[in-house]
């Protein structure tokens, strides 16, 4: 049973860049596993290697050495076309900049990824409609991004990530452009939806407070994961600090 539950496995992962004569180890031997339905946060300061790690998990960058196994498939062995197909079928993204198309309303923005899957229009719009209800934007379906607040736009972004029913969602500083109240609302929303739908979410952030919403928190410094804690352990430590 144990095998079935692990959805992401990273083994001995290295990413080494050459800068002139020097070698920079962006990732320096990283190992971890993430289970299905888990919300994990990778926390680190700028330059810690967290964004490099997320890019590798998503197949946007190739490792220098090591293995990345997602949903039973080796990411590091795939070519560009295979990676594109894999991302389209298995992965949803939530970005810091909402990346919504200004000319489309909320419903059309959310339905867009389904177009790439070849789903017919009526089905697409129906599923997008349901997703917008789920993120609490039932009244804003016809609004364009310019008619919505930052928090509302990020909810559209979340709905768009979830509409393809991905096994795994990657979020990069998902509340980076929002004020603290809106950030909390968006994080609570992400937390609830991920658990209700039993989806796996990996979030990268520099913000200790946001990391506290995750089930497990991976702290990364200089390309190495130095601790993995449950939410309880993490919050106890934060309270002491």
DSSP string covering 105-130, please? -HHHHHHHHHHHTT--HHHHHHHHHH
CB 226 within 8 A of CB 219: yes
Residue count of the chain? 241
Local structure of 157: helix, strand or coil: helix
Give pLDDT, residue 1.
Answer: 40
Provide the pLDDT for residue 4: 52
H/E element, 24? strand 22-35
Residue-level pLDDT at 180? 86
pLDDT given for residue 171 in this prediction: 93
Q: Are 152 and 98 in contact (CB under 8 A)?
A: no
Residue 146 is predicted with a pLDDT of: 94
Q: What is the mean pLDDT of each run of 10 residues along the chain (241 residues)?
A: 74 93 91 94 92 92 94 93 90 85 95 88 94 91 94 91 90 86 88 89 92 95 94 89 73
Set out the domains of the chain in order of their start, with CATH numbers. 37-62+79-240 (3.40.50.300)
The Cα-based distances of 76 to 3, 24, 64, 104 in angstroms read: 20, 20, 9, 35
């Amino acid at each position: 049973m144990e095998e079935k539950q692990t959805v992401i496995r990273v083994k001995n992962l290295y990413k080494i860049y050459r800068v002139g004569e020097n070698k920079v180890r962006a990732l320096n031997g990283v190992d971890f596993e993430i289970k299905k339905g888990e919300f994990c946060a990778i926390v680190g300061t700028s330059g810690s290697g967290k964004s490099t790690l997320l890019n590798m998990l998503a197949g946007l960058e190739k490792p220098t050495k090591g293995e990345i196994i997602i949903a039973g498939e080796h990411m590091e062995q795939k070519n560009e076309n295979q990676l594109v197909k894999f991302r389209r079928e298995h992965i949803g993204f939530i970005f810091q900049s909402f990346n919504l198309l200004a000319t489309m309303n909320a419903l059309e923005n959310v339905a867009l990824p389904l177009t790439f899957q070849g789903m017919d229009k009526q089905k697409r719009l129906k599923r997008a409609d349901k997703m917008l209800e789920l993120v609490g934007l039932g009244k804003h379906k016809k609004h364009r991004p310019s008619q919505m607040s930052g928090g509302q736009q990020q909810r559209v972004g979340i709905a768009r990530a979830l509409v393809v029913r991905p096994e795994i969602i990657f979020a990069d500083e998902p509340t980076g452009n929002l004020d603290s109240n809106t950030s909390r609302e968006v994080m609570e929303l992400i937390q609830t939806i991920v658990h209700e739908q039993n989806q796996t979410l990996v979030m990268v952030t520099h913000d200790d407070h946001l990391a506290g919403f995750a089930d497990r928190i991976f702290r990364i410094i200089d390309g190495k994961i130095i601790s993995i804690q449950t939410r309880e352990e993490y919050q106890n430590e934060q309270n002491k600090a």
